[in-house]
Structure 1
Amino acid sequence: MSDPAPWSVDVPERLREEFAQQLAPGERRAVHDLLALLAADPRMGAVEPVPLSVELRRALTAPATDTGQRVSILYRVHADRRTVEIIYILTGP
Structure 2
Amino acid sequence: MTDWRVEVPERLFEEFAHLSPGGRRAVHDVLERLTVDPRDPGSTTEPIQGAELRRIMTEPAADSGDRITVLYRITEPEASTEPGRISILYIISGP
Category of TM-score, reference length = shorter chain: 0.7 to 0.9
**Alignment partner, residue 75 of structure 1:** 72
Runs of 4+ in 1 over 3 A off after TM superposition: none
Q: Out of 59, 77, 87, which is 1:62 matched to? A: 59
Q: Out of 21, 24, 41, which is 1:25 matched to? A: 21
**Unaligned segments of structure 2, at least 5 residues:** 79-83
**Which structure's residues are more often strand, by fraction?**
2
**AA paired with 1:16?**
F
Question: CA offsets, 1:19-72, max 9 Å, x none?
Answer: 12x101100000000010111120232xx1111124211000000000101000
**AA paired with 2:39?**
R
Determine what percentage of the aligned residue pairs are the same residue. Answer: 49
**Alignment partner, residue 86 of structure 2:** 84
Residues paired across the two proteins, number: 87
Aligned mates of 2:2, 2:34 — CA distance in 1: 12
Relative to the length of structure 1, the TM-score reads 0.85
**Which structure's residues are more often helix, by fraction?**
1
Relative to the length of structure 2, the TM-score reads 0.83
**Unaligned segments of structure 1, at least 5 residues:** none
User: Once superposed, what is the RMSD of the aligned Cα atoms?
Assistant: 1.5
